[in-house]
Every structure is written in C-alpha cells, then in structure tokens.
Chains A and B, each alone.
Chain A
Amino acid sequence: MNGRSDELGPRTGNRLALRIAIFGGVALALFVVLFFRLWLLQVVGGEEYLAEAKNNRTREFRVSAPRGEILDRTGRILVANRTSLALQVNPDKLPEDPRERRAELARLAELTHTTLPKLRRTIREELKVAAGAPVTLRRDVGSYLVFYLEENQDRFPGVSVQRVFVRRYPHGTLAAHILGNVGEVSEEQLEEPTLRGLEPGDEIGQDGVEDTYDGFLRGTPGIERLQVDAFGQPTRNGQLVSQPPVPGDNLRLSIDSGVQEAGEAAMASFGLRGAFVTMDVHTGEILALGSYPTYEPSVFTRPMTQSQVDELYRDPVLAPLTDRAIAGLYPTGSTFKPITAIAALESGNLTTGEVIYDPGQLVVGGQVFTNAGEAANGSVSLVRALEVSSDVFFYTLGLRMWDTGDLQHWAHALGIGRPTGIDLPAGAVEGLVPSQKWRNDLYREGETERPWSAGDNVQLATGQGDLQTNPLQMAVAYAALANGGTVVTPHVGLQVDDAAGRVLREFDPGPRRQVRMDAGYREAILEGLHDAAQGGAGTSVDVFGDFPIPVAGKTGTAQRPPYEDQSWYGVLAPYPDPRIVTFVTMEEGGFGAEAAAPAARTILEAYFAGRLSEESKTGGEG
C-alpha cells in the first residue's frame, strides 16, 4: 500500500478496505436484484407477457363485402357494383395541436369542395354514432386526389383512402322505385335485432328491394387481422389471418325490363304524374311497376347537392321518391265498376240479364247524379253498361246496396283499402273504402257535417268520392276477377341465386285469400270489359279497337277537385283467359281513354312483342 497513506492520512487504510467491501456488497446485491427480476419477468412470467405482446400487435379490420346484384326475370342486370375510392379521416390521428388540426381540416375541406364548418359538423355527427371509427368524408373521390394525398401524406396525418363498393345502375332510372337504394346504417337501425352484428359505416338497403331482401344481398364482411405498430398502422407484409368477405347473393326480380322500359317511356311521354303496374294474374309476380316522375338511383351513391336534395325531398307535388303505384291514394273513377258489379251480382242485387233504364241521370235524395258527358244510354244490361260505362246503371246498384255493406265487403275482399302484402317497404299503405260505419263514426266525432247517405254509396259505385286506392290494389282486384277469385300477393322478388347462378331460394308468397265467385258472373263482367275495349261502342275502343290481341279493359276518370280529372285504365289480357293485368293512372290526365289507356297499350305491346311480330307475319301472309 505504498503511496497511499501520504495523501489521505494514516487512518484510512483499514477503513478504506471496509468501505470498498461494503461497496462491492452493495453492487452484488443490486445485481442480484436485477438478475432475479429479469428471471421473474422472462422465465417465470414470460408466457403471459408473450400473450400480451401478441395481443398488442394485431388489429382487426373489416373488409366490406360486395352486395349481390339485382337482375330482372331474364337475367339482365339492373343493379351491379363498382369499386370506388372513399376519403376517410381518423379523428384520433389528427394533430393534437388545435392550430395544426384546424389547418389540416381546412386543407381537407378545400380538397373535398366543402367548408370547414360543414366538415367539422360531419365529423362530429359521425363520431356521435361511432366514436373512434374513421369518418368517411367523401365517396367516389377521383384518383388525382388520391395521388395528391399520397404525395402529401405528411400534411394530412390521419387521412386515408379506402376502396369501397358502390352501387351501379346500368339502366339509369329503370325500376328506380322498385330497386330502392343503399345507405349507411343509422343509429336507430343498429339497435334492431335483425341488424345485429353490423357496425357504424356499414351499408344496408334503405328502400325498395334493397331493403326487403337486404339479408340476402348484403353478404358478410371479411375480417383481416393485420399486424400493426404502436400507432395502429399496418406494417409491411403484416397480414396475419384473413377471413375473406362473402359477397351477397344475387336477387332475381320478376320484373321484365322490356315491359318496365315501355311503361316508363309511356309515362315519360305524357309527362304527367302517375303510375303503372303490370302483374301476372295467377301468381302475383309483378312484371313492371313504375311511378312518374322518377329519379336516378345513383344520386344516393354520392353526396347530394342542395338542388338534388330540393328536387328529391322538398317538392310535395312532384315528389319523385314516392312510388305512386303502391303508395298513391286516389279515387279510381269507372275502373271501380267491375267491383261494384261483382258485389251486386253476388249479393243478389243484380242478375246478369237484368236491364236497367239509363235516362242519363239519377236523382238520389234530391241530389242529381249524371252520366259523364250527360249521355243517355237507354236500357242497358250489365255487359252493355260496362261497355259504354253507364254511370246511371252503377248509381242504381250503389243505391240498392247503400246500407247493406255488400259493396264495401266485396271491395275489401278483393283487396281494395287494405295492404297488398307486396315486398316493397313503401307498399304498406291501406287506403280507404268509405263505409257507413266509417262516415258515421266521423260524424259522431264531429269531423264531418253529415252522416252516411245513399249518395255516398252511389259515388263509391262509380269509383268517385272518398275512395282511396292505388293502381296496385286495383290490379290485385282485377286479377282476382280474372282468375276466378284468387287474391294474389303481389311481389317483385322471384329468387335468390348464388354467384354461380344456383338457385338458393325461390319466393312464392302464395295467395292472400280465396274469394268464392260465380263463374257466370265473372264471364259476364269480363265480356263487358272486353266490349268496352274492343266492342262497337266501347269507351276505349279508339285505343284498343285495332289491338291484335283480345283484351278486356276499363277506362276511369276520377274527379279530384280542385285538380283536373285523373285518368285511369285497367286492362286484362289476353281475353277471355287473362294472364296479365295492367293498371295505369295519370294525375290530371283527363278522360281514361286519353292518357292512361294509350300508355297501357304501349305496355301490352311490349309484353306481347314476340307474339305481335309473329301475328303480323302470319297476318301479312293471310
């Protein structure tokens, strides 16, 4: 120990050794602690920590499934999909600094052609529904925007572009009201038990068959488990497990797009608000159904402009989203007469041979009811009365049944004033067949100034007054008359096919009910309707007189003050054994033969197109 005592003094030697020994002891103790702790973490608790680490690094992402396609009865595509790029922002990853955050949102607003307050509102509202989920700012962004964002990624933290499926409508407005649209599931919808398992941002059918058959069309989203880093960003080559999305199944409709096109074209050529429906009288399959004015269903696939919103939602008169064929409520005019006829016949208030004198008017309780055009038809039987559309004849029947309830009973039995059961969400309307009880109840409650009177029933007998129904209900009633009493369930869904074209499920809702009906009565009524369309003095003979296929059709002219008269036409074809029924109505279209009947003829021409071209050939030869 030479050279040491000189500096620190003589007392230090032994003490230093002790101090160094203690120092060493402390160091040893500290290392023992570290080794022990290390062993505890890695060897003893390793498995647990490993599980935690694995859990740490994976995130599940949902991969949206493409919805099934919607086809017409011949397999023609009505709705398909296209992929689109959606701009999303993850609010959690926006800059924390409020100024930076504001600047980024301002840049985003500029890119998406909106304003900063609007953008913030969108984000706020989306976050209310689903906190923490990315917010879709804009669908269908152009690829130039994607490139721009990729190049400027550092200026847009939290912004991403996602590939999504968007509905594509290759035929524009065709069958818009039947198809409906898809949209993001709403907060309330998420709580419905049938929609369990959906997440905010998922799309579901919101109207039309997209809604009714959503369960088949929607498919199952896939799940991708990705390895992520601490910021939740997927790492390169980090895909771990992937459960591919199951595309939705294809829906085949009973719609015949040729007939549908013809109907829509006919409506558009008149330019009047109205609707049409063509249905198989035996099965209830709808071949065509439309409402005018219509709309482009594709407007729902991208954000709407204010003018589009105004056009679709804010116009109470045109109301293009309303499907007038199934949700309209109108009086029908004379197209109601066959229902009056069957009611009177079946209730014993009329025989097929009975002749009633028609002087041109009928006075009921001091009120004068006149024929349209004040024509006097003289003595008419049922067939003739239908052919010339004698109002007095049916006024008389209405008077006979004014307090028996037979007319109401039969109208109701045939489906007037009650839901048809069609597989479209908008078709749940009831309508109204005015009855003694209905008006008297209202009268008792002071909501009308007079009780039920014979005049009410006289009006109903010719489809005027308080009657509220629509083309579909009328088509169902006519179909029942034509098929001998089967009240069909109208439907547009035909079957569900998988991607390979195999039929997974067929829809046959079966009849609503059977109505017992005398075959002779049915024949007499159809004969009257045939004469009305193609007989000598028929009301629509100008339209259908030269139609090569025998039909049975009835005009209607509903009075809807203060509007112009509403034009109606109902036709069964071919006569005498009808397969289809077509109903057309046009608001403010005037006399039935002026607007609705020509449109119905256009539809029948399309339906019988094959047969017509054959017959014109053979006719040319003969």
Chain B
Amino acid sequence: MYATRARRARPEPFALRPGIAERLGLPYMDATLGISAVGLVAFSVFVLGQATQHDVPGSPGYFVDRQTIYAILGLVGMYVLARIDYSRFRELRVGIYTFLCASVTAVFFFGFAARGSRRAFDLPFFSFQPSELGKLLLVLALAGFVIDGARRGSARQRTVRYLCLGLAPAALVFLQPDLGTSLVYGAITLAVMYVGGVPWTHFAVIGAALVALVALVLAIAPAIGTPILKGYQQERLTSFLDPSDAGYQQNQAKIAIGSGETSGRGDRATQTRLDFVPERHTDFIFAVIGERYGFMGAALVLSLYALLIWRALRIVTLSKNSYGTLVAGGIAAMLLFQVFVNVGMNLGIMPITGIPLPLLSYGGSSILATLLAVGVLQSIHVQARLSQKGRFAW
C-alpha cells in the first residue's frame, strides 16, 4: 500500500501525455522483471551475432536473424499476455492440459527426427517444439488443478493426483526422448505442489522415491542388464562426477569458460569459435559468454537471472489470488531449475541433460515459451497492482 501511495504522491512520469502509458498498462507492470528479461534476450542476440557468424556458410546472420524474429514474436506475446487476466487460464485448465498432452504426443506421429529424437514439428518457416511451450502450459494447467482439487479427497489422494497429472506429460516428453525437458516438467510439478501446500511428509516420501529411482536407473538397471536410459544419456549424466573422465564436451566448456579469465578473450576466443565446444549456440551458450566476456560478462548474465528469479518470487507473494501464486511459483521454479542446471552443466558441476538456457540459448520455441512465461508473470503483477489500486478495470 505504501508503494501505491508513493506513486500517487509523485507526478506521473507520463504526465505530459496522460493516458498513453496508462492505456498501455505500463505503470502496472514490473519494470525490473521486464528489463532483466529484455536484457537477456538482447544479450542473446548480441552473443549469437558475434559467435555464430561462420557457422552457416554464406549466411552469417542465420542464427541471429531467426533468434531476433522469435524474440520479437515473444516480446509481443509477452505484452499481450501481460494485458490478459491470467486467471482465465484456470478455467481453461482442462483444455490447456489436453492440448499439452496432445501436442507432445503428436510429435511421435508428425514430428521430424533430429539426432535420434522426435521433438519438433517442421512448420513451413520454422520448426516448433511443443514441449517447450508445454512447460508454461503445464504450470498453468497444474496450478488450476491444484486450486480446483484443494478441497477434494484426502491429502494423500491429492498428492498422488498432482503427481500423476504432472508426470504424465513428463513421461511423454521423456519418451521422445528428451530427458532434459522431462526433468523440467518434474521440477515444475514439484514446485507447484510445494507452493500449493502439499505436506512435508509427502515430499520426504517423494524424495526417498526419487533417490531410489535414480539409483535404479543409473546403477541397478544397467547392472542387471535392462538399462532404462540410452547409453549416451547415462554417460552424460554421470560423467560430471568424475572430472578426469573423457567428458569431452564438459571439459571443453570448462576450458572455454576458464580461459575467459576476468575480462574475456573477445574475438580471440578459440574454444567456442573453433568448434571445440559443441552446441555453442544452444546448450553451451554460457560457455561462449564465459570465454568471450570473462567473469564480468558471465557474472552480469547470472545477475540478470538472479534479478529475474527474484522478481518472479516477489510476484509469488504479490499475487491477488492463489492461482497466481501457484503459477508464479511454477514459473520461478521452471526458470531457476533451467538456469541452474544449464549453467551448472557449463561450469562442470551438473550433468549434461540438454536443457537450454532460458532467453539466451538459440531456439525459437524456447525463447517464445520463456517470454510468454514472463508475460504471465507480468499479468499476475498487473492484476495484483490493479487490485491494490482498488480493482480498477481497464
């Protein structure tokens, strides 16, 4: 309430043209959140422009151009979502959930295969990976189910229901196979349940089950001859545990980041410029930043993420209703999980799971979905502000 009064006490920044900013809804949005998101997107375009000039022979702007188009689309989408009351998604939860499951299933039938896995549709001008947008859809739907089912059944029944709802799409994505994204789904599910008030004891059981599952998948199943993960997945997941191991990608990424030292190597960067680091425009873009711009650049990027997640968590507490709280919590967890796993993977402290760095990695579906998620956060912020203002409607 203090903030609102302070705002009223000062002259409006757009006072000279009263009504325009107000009509655009800008005063009700979280500026810090928007700036950090736009900053990261701009940085992504900047880095791709410098680091991928020679990747596609004959078209130096191949990745930049595409990333820019998706970023613009994403920013427009973000703004549109910010202007919509997110609460409507709660009512649409069944439709959203059905669409999510249908779209990640559809790639099995209509998707094109890249590197042995079917994840994306090949549309006329771009390819679309439904599991990326699915992250946001899962948050929106699951939060709705949690609110909806808050009073039905025992606590244990509810926990099992949420788990099933969350793990079904996760399993579908896992089968594509896309281990990384399915882990994000898992993280989202747990986060929504956590914010939704699932008892601690249930989490303890889930945690124990997880430990048992990991042991089964990584150690017991291969030992008895029925491996669940594919060989390369297993290798990636465990290679970071042994620094001397031939974890080539990770080692090269570590060398790249380390060689950036404090201020970076700029165009003299060799690790990421000469193909030593694989997937440098997607999963290992943080290594590019580390080598080119050094500790200063990499720390700036991390700070922007910290800012983004701080604002997301703040929005969790600001939300006008529980649905907003759950959605914001899910999105915050989704961002935090992806940033930590991806950057950790680049720094050699997390396994290679194929999770992109939100807003920075090249990839239309990812940047679009993340910006839409930020749009939903903005929407929650806007609705909270409006309700604080005395439920003014636009």
Contact partners of A35 in chain B: CB under 8 A: 299, 302
Which residues of A33-78 have CB atoms within 8 Å of chain B's CB atoms? 33-35, 37-39, 41-43, 45-50, 52-54, 56-57
Q: Does B387 contact A (CB under 8 A)?
A: yes
Contact partners of A50 in chain B: CB under 8 A: 258-259, 261, 265
Of B28-36, B38-46, B99-107, B271-279, the stretch lying at the interface with chain A is: B271-279
Q: Are A230 and B275 in contact (CB under 8 A)?
A: yes
Name B's interface SS: helix
Q: Does A227 contact B (CB under 8 A)?
A: yes
Inter-chain CA distance A41–B275, complex, in Å, is: 20
Inter-chain CA distance A421–B336, complex, in Å, is: 85
Q: Are A46 and B313 in contact (CB under 8 A)?
A: no
Q: Are B194 and A23 in contact (CB under 8 A)?
A: yes
Of B15-23, B227-235, B321-329, the stretch lying at the interface with chain A is: B321-329
Please judge, given known A-B contacts A49-B258, A228-B274, whether A42 and B295 are in contact too, CB under 8 Å: yes
Contact of A57 among B147, B274, B323, B340 (CB under 8 A): B274
Inter-chain CA distance A38–B345, complex, in Å, is: 12
Output the nearest chain B residue to A51 by Cβ-Cβ distance.
B259
Of A4-12, A260-268, A489-497, the stretch lying at the interface with chain B is: A4-12
Contact of B259 among A4, A24, A46 (CB under 8 A): A46
Q: Does A229 contact B (CB under 8 A)?
A: yes
Contact partners of B265 in chain A: CB under 8 A: 50
Q: Are B336 and A27 in contact (CB under 8 A)?
A: yes
Q: Are A56 and B270 in contact (CB under 8 A)?
A: yes
Which residues of B152-196 have CB atoms within 8 Å of chain A's CB atoms? 191, 194-196
Q: Does A3 contact B (CB under 8 A)?
A: yes
Q: Does B332 contact A (CB under 8 A)?
A: yes
Inter-chain CA distance A321–B290, complex, in Å, is: 65
Please judge, given known A-B contacts A3-B387, A16-B325, whether A34 and B260 are in contact too, CB under 8 Å: no
Inter-chain CA distance A231–B278, complex, in Å, is: 12
Contact partners of B387 in chain A: CB under 8 A: 2-3
Contact partners of B217 in chain A: CB under 8 A: none
Q: Are A229 and B262 in contact (CB under 8 A)?
A: no
Inter-chain CA distance A6–B321, complex, in Å, is: 9
Q: Does A17 contact B (CB under 8 A)?
A: yes
Contact of B257 among A49, A54, A231, A235 (CB under 8 A): A49
Please judge, given known A-B contacts A30-B340, A230-B276, whether A46 and B260 are in contact too, CB under 8 Å: yes
Output the nearest chain B residue to A38 by Cβ-Cβ distance.
B298
Please judge, given known A-B contacts A4-B322, A38-B257, whether A20 and B294 are in contact too, CB under 8 Å: no
Interface size grouping (class) on chain B: 35 or more
- Tally A residues with Cβ within 8 Å of B: 46
Expressed in whole angstroms, the minimum distance between the Cβ of B210 and any Cβ of chain A is 16
Q: Does A437 contact B (CB under 8 A)?
A: no
Q: Are A20 and B313 in contact (CB under 8 A)?
A: yes
Q: Are B257 and A12 in contact (CB under 8 A)?
A: no
Question: Which residues of A approach B to under 8 Å, CB–CB?
Answer: 2-4, 6-9, 11-12, 15-17, 19-20, 23-24, 26-27, 30-31, 33-35, 37-39, 41-43, 45-50, 52-54, 56-57, 227-231, 235
A-B contact count (CB 8 A): 156
Expressed in whole angstroms, the minimum distance between the Cβ of B365 and any Cβ of chain A is 25
Contact of A46 among B262, B299, B336 (CB under 8 A): B262
Inter-chain CA distance A11–B258, complex, in Å, is: 49
Q: Are A23 and B257 in contact (CB under 8 A)?
A: no
Q: Are A38 and B270 in contact (CB under 8 A)?
A: no
Contact partners of A230 in chain B: CB under 8 A: 252, 274-276
Contact partners of B323 in chain A: CB under 8 A: 7
Q: Are A56 and B276 in contact (CB under 8 A)?
A: yes
Q: Are A52 and B255 in contact (CB under 8 A)?
A: yes
Q: Does B64 contact A (CB under 8 A)?
A: no
Contact partners of B252 in chain A: CB under 8 A: 56, 230
Q: Are A41 and B147 in contact (CB under 8 A)?
A: no
Q: Are A20 and B298 in contact (CB under 8 A)?
A: no
Contacts beyond the supplied A2-B387, A37-B344, A49-B257: 6 A-B pairs with Cβ under 8 Å: A19-B197, A27-B306, A34-B344, A38-B347, A43-B261, A229-B274
Inter-chain CA distance A19–B257, complex, in Å, is: 35
Q: Mark B290-322, 1 if CB is under 8 A from A, else 0.
A: 110011001100100110011001001101111
Expressed in whole angstroms, the minimum distance between the Cβ of B360 and any Cβ of chain A is 14
Please judge, given known A-B contacts A8-B197, A15-B197, A17-B317, whether A38 and B275 are in contact too, CB under 8 Å: no
Contact of A229 among B275, B321, B344 (CB under 8 A): B275
Contact partners of B321 in chain A: CB under 8 A: 3-4, 6-7
